[in-house]
Structure 1
Amino acid sequence: MGAGRFKLDDRDIKILSILQSEGRISKAALAERVNLSPTPCWERLNRLEESGVIEAYGATIAESAYGPMTVLFVMIEIENHRADDFAAFEAAIGEVPEITECWSISGGFDYLCKFVTRDLAAYQAIVDRLLANGAGVKRYFSYPAMKPVKRTPLPLAMIADMQG
């Protein structure tokens, strides 16, 4: 069953909401918070994991934890618009750990990527490699981020509204 077709009830949404903000909560504490005994809570949690609703667990690391970093959002247009060209570009950026997000978009550009680098020189070196290695970049526009304004997890209330 795909994650997009998984029917969530109020308890599932409560479990997901707690996990989004308190990923290290113990299973016993989670069960108590959603007013279930541990075994039914664990069964729900396993079902959410197995269905793909929960993709992974992890920590959110402060981008500035180890000193100043440069965050840039980059609009990228690729040279050709054949399936092979999109696949080649996506494979090339998949090999670049400093690209922490990349979205295929519509409009005047093909992709919106988030780069996190030490500084602008490190960013430019990455772009130079992408241009030289045949990733198919036609043009790109870089937008340095000044400060984060809002970062939130998935709005689970919206999912509940969509299913109800």
Structure 2
Amino acid sequence: MKLDAIDLRILQAVQRDGRITKLKLAEVAGLSPTPCWLRLRKLEQAGIIAGWHARLAPRRVAPFTTVLVEVALANHRQADFERFERAVMEMESVVACWSVGGGVDYFLKVVAQDIDAYQRLIDGMLAAEIGIDRYFTYIVTKTLKEDEPLPMALFGVK
């Protein structure tokens, strides 16, 4: 789907405020409500808008620890990567996982009740023999910025 300036304004608005009213969105997009709504539906149907959700303030619910983990696999066959990735997809505490090039194979973002819970997760990963050769743990001590909207300048919008 080729996006135009109106589509990009719609995307910018809804990623900043998913609860924006239809009227306000139409105003921002420079359209009347019905054509704006139709464009929004097309963006959803095309998979450009992947979903709608609430952004929580988790520290107001319960204390937790965020850990970033570098993981290097022992072997680098396709089956090794697939085994590791399947296992990680089943781990609720692993909230993000990136396959990367360079000296390690993956970066994980883990949230756990505390350091002990994180260590139990790692111990379980090692016991499951999912191919981990080595891992490095980085405890997040302060979050400055997280899950921000995509910069629309990437798409030519200022």
The verdict on a shared fold, with TM-score over 0.5 as the criterion, is: yes
Match of 1:84 among 60, 63, 79: 79
Please list the CA deviations of residues 71-106 of structure 1 after superposition, one character each: whole Å capped at 9, or x if unmatched: 010000111101011000000011111100000001
Query: C-alpha displacement at 1:136, in angstroms?
Result: 0.9
Runs of 5+ unmatched residues, structure 2 = none
**Cα distance between partner residues in 1 of 2:61 and 2:134:** 32
> What is the TM-score normalised by the length of structure 1?
0.90
Is 1:59 the equivalent of 2:77?
A: no
SS across alignment from 1:17: helix
**Cα distance between partner residues in 1 of 2:104 and 2:111:** 20
Is 1:127 the equivalent of 2:122?
A: yes
Please list the CA deviations of residues 11-66 of structure 1 after superposition, one character each: whole Å capped at 9, or x if unmatched: 11111111011101122331133221121111111111111111111111123122
Match of 1:71 among 66, 69, 72: 66
Task: Give the counterpart letter for 1:160 in structure 2.
Answer: G
Name the % identity: 44
The answer as to whether partners of 1:75 and 1:110 remain within 8 angstroms in 2 is yes
> What is the TM-score normalised by the length of structure 2?
0.93
State the partner residue of 1:8. Answer: 3
The answer as to whether partners of 1:71 and 1:114 remain within 8 angstroms in 2 is yes
1:1-164 correspondence to structure 2 within 5 Å: 6-151=1-146, 152-160=148-156
Q: How many residues align?
A: 156
The answer as to whether partners of 1:8 and 1:160 remain within 8 angstroms in 2 is no
The answer as to whether partners of 1:99 and 1:116 remain within 8 angstroms in 2 is yes
Runs of 5+ unmatched residues, structure 1 = 1-5
**Cα distance between partner residues in 2 of 1:153 and 1:34:** 17
Task: Give the counterpart letter for 1:153 in structure 2.
Answer: P
**Cα distance between partner residues in 2 of 1:131 and 1:65:** 32
The answer as to whether partners of 1:104 and 1:111 remain within 8 angstroms in 2 is yes
Task: Give the counterpart letter for 2:118 in structure 1.
Answer: Y
